[in-house]
Amino acid sequence: MAEAIVFWTLAVLILGLGIMVISARSAVHSVLFLVVNFLLVAVLYVMLNAEFVAVIQVLVYAGGIVVLYLFVVMLVSLKKAPERYADPRRVAWTGTLLAGAVLLEVVAIVVASSGGGEPAATEGALGAADTPFAECGAGPLVSCNTEQLGWVLYTSYLIPFEVASMLLLVAMIGAIVLAKRHL
């Protein structure tokens, strides 16, 4: 019962802070609300026994991404008036269409997931009984999820991991080159 109360409290706070992020008049306040939102999502991950994901949430999102946002806020001149569009309703229609598409996707996921009884047990790399870490806990991602995740990441998914790191490196270098031109 206590876990349900904590979950729903976190859910309400996360949604409220998400609304405050997009409705704040100051960009700095918006970024601060985003930091608190990311930290509360990390607390939610800890509740779900996903400590590794919680640490990554704090390091990558609450640390790196927010610093990136703050640099953008500092580099962009906020003293200029916003651009005037010929049709101010154009953005509202685009947002409404995108929100409708997301709602349809959520409904499709709910309908597809409610189709059967109990899901069949899958023998994945994280939950297979023959993994070297089968003695860690009762099930996948229970007590030594970081060790299991590292094992799978650096064996089965090594190439996609390296490709993603190279793409991030290229994007970072491109952002530095583009920012250097404007400074």
Residue 119 lies in a domain: no
Instruction: Output DSSP code: residue 50.
Output: -
Q: Phi and psi for 173 in degrees, rounded to 5?
A: -65, -40
Quick: pLDDT tens for 18-67. 999 998 888 888 888 998 999 999 999 999 888 888 888 888 887 888 77
Quick: pLDDT tens for 150-162. 888 888 888 888 8
Domain boundary among 45, 77, 109: 77
| Buried b or exposed e, range 164-178, using 16+ CB within 10 angstroms | eeeeeeeeeeeeeee
Quick: pLDDT tens for 127-143. 444 444 445 544 444 45
* Average pLDDT of every residue of the chain: 76
Name the domain count of the chain.
2
Considering the domain architecture, whether residues 1 and 73 belong to the same structural domain is answered as yes
Considering the domain architecture, whether residues 72 and 142 belong to the same structural domain is answered as no
Distance separating alpha carbons of residues 84 and 56, to the nearest angstrom: 39
Segments forming the whole domain that contains residue 140: 134-183
Residue 60 lies in a domain: yes
Domain boundary among 77, 105, 121: 77
- The domain that holds 49 is classified in CATH as 1.20.120.1200
Question: Full-prediction pTM beyond 0.75?
Answer: no
Residue 63 lies in a domain: yes
The answer to whether 64 touches 34, Cβ cutoff 8 Å, is no
